[in-house]
Amino acid sequence: MTYTPKTFNLPALEGISEKQIKVHLALYEGYVKHVNLITEQIQNLKENSTDPYVIAELRRRFAFEFDGMRMHELYFAQLESGVRNPESGSPLVKAADVKYGNGIDGLTAHIKEVSSTRGIGWVVVYKDSDTIHTTFVGDHEVGQLAGLPILLALDLWEHAYMVDYVPAEKKNYIDAFFANLNWSVIEKRF
> Does the pLDDT value for residue 7 go beyond 90?
yes
Q: 123, 115 in Cβ contact below 8 A?
A: yes
- Mean pLDDT across 35-56: 90
Residues 6+ apart with CB under 8 A from 162: 20, 23
Q: How confident is the model at residue 167 (pLDDT cuts 50, 70, 90)?
A: very high
> Does the pLDDT value for residue 37 go beyond 90?
yes
Q: How confident is the model at residue 95 (pLDDT cuts 50, 70, 90)?
A: very high
pTM greater than 0.85 (yes/no): yes
Q: How confident is the model at residue 59 (pLDDT cuts 50, 70, 90)?
A: very high
Euclidean distance between CA atoms 109 and 115, whole angstroms: 10
Distances (CA, A) of 97 to 48, 94, 141: 56, 5, 28
- Mean pLDDT across 57-86: 96
Q: How confident is the model at residue 50 (pLDDT cuts 50, 70, 90)?
A: confident
